[in-house]
Amino acid sequence: MIFLPFLAPGHMLPMVDMARLFSSHGVTVTIITTTFNAAQFLKAIDKDINSGHKIAIHTVELPSEETTLPQGTENFTTISSLAMAGNLFRAMTKLQPQIEQFIKERSPHCIVSDMYFPWTVDLALSLGIPRLVFHGCSYFALCCMDTIKRYAPHTKVTGEAQSFLIPGLPDEIEIMASQLPDYVRTPGGYTLLLDHIREADKRSFGVLVNSFYELETAYADHYTNVTGNKAWHIGPLHQSIKRDTADKAERGNEVHVVEHGCLTWLNCKKPNSVLYVSFGSLTHFTSAQLLEIAFGLEASGYPFIWVVRKEETMPLEGDEMWLPEGFEERMMENEMGLIIRGWAPQMLILEHPSIGGFVTHCGWNSTLESVTAGVPMITWPLAAEQFYNEKLISKVLKIGAEVGVEEWHPLIQAHGYLVTRKKIEKAVTQLMGVNEEAKERRKRTEELGEMAKRAVEEGGSSHVNITSLLNKLRLMQCHVQPVG
């Protein structure tokens, strides 16, 4: 099987996990990516090879010179503007001839492609092999996107601040028009790309979903019944790969994760007492928003670990300070707060018994990691499909408290909507409190965490699903090796 991940961490990390999962089932796997991206997970792959798994990486060269990209710009984590994002997209399209030639020479039995490579469906059909597609999001989000595309309910409201019901879903879900992506509200070139992706999905063998049946039962069924697309849930993928501490570190391109000071700091805290705050690897906040976060966290009175992108800690000339005066010194002196600039060992933090809540941008990988760890969430969606995930977390699963973001914004740009310190303080108090609502929320999350772990074990829903998929591929005479 050939795996072709997209060049962004939210897509790449789970797809590499997926490739590793298939190889652990006896499948011969090759991952195609660029040299820079291959280095991010090379150690994990080497460890799999040493364990006897048949897995390899094939690297291709990104033609950055032809698209005015700086040398080494091979992942969306290195992008700082929408113009650069467009250039990286164009550079990726130039990879198609290299990738097609390699796949034809390799003659695989199946292609697993990220959604952003819809052309792989034609390649697969020309080779007479199945193509599986990966979107990197939840069943719930897929259902929301499908029904909004079908019925366009947002066009029937009078203003962007008005809420409307997303029709046809198993639950009554309301969302504001302003919380929809801009390419939904104002169709353009990206909308056409999504239409192309949707058509490629229909012509593919099926969709692979990083989820588990117990989490989204009604929406797993709804998606296949309404769209007609076959789908297999095989997650949580981060849980499927039985990682030790070093393996978890390799995902973050760090080695000495055990020595990370935040874990020592957490060891001194009471169970469920610390709030973890992180907005993923692509989020950009203004200094004004960072300042509000700092004031809100301090006012809440709960200890916290706050992960901030290094770029955000360097305000532009004339910009305001991003931390209140003396804030970091007060937090350190009172042992109430710890700021991490750059990368943090997120899975190890979430799994620590001292963590009692997670302020998250509602990226699907972070959401699944929080669910698996049994940690309830404060939802702070920003872009992509994150506002849909917020509704799943807060309204369907009831394991989160909304901070109150009302406006979707592109990931690459600094988010302009300002969440005030009072809203932040209120959400933290609501999530971390000891009232009955907070206790029930925590109980539900912990129960889902146990279900997540069982789903990937032998006989669990996701384990059964991947076994069923491999059996189907064998019946198609793809000669996939028997499940190990």
The tokens describing 249, both together, are 């570190």
Cα–Cα–Cα angle for 248, 250, 255, nearest 5°? 100
HEC per residue, 120-173: HHHHHHHHCCCEEEECCCCHHHHHHHHHHHHHCHHHHCCCCCCEEECCCCCCCC
Name residues whose C-beta falls within 8 Å of residue 66's C-beta, 6 or more positions apart in sequence: 91, 94
Burial 427-462 (b: 16+ CB within 10 A, else e): bbbbbbeeeeebeebbeebbebbebbebbbeeebbb
Q: Residue 381, SS3?
A: coil
What is the spatial distance between Cα 208 and Cα 147, in angstroms, rounded to a whole number? 20
Catalytic residue list: 11, 114
What is the spatial distance between Cα 161 and Cα 233, in angstroms, rounded to a whole number? 35
What is the spatial distance between Cα 97 and Cα 63, in angstroms, rounded to a whole number? 12
What is the spatial distance between Cα 362 and Cα 207, in angstroms, rounded to a whole number? 22
Q: How many residues does the chain have?
A: 484
Contact 245, 257 (CB under 8 A): yes
Q: Residue 90, SS3?
A: helix
What is the spatial distance between Cα 111 and Cα 120, in angstroms, rounded to a whole number? 8
C-alpha distances (whole Å) from 29 to each of 3, 130, 151, 229, 248 are: 7, 15, 40, 24, 21
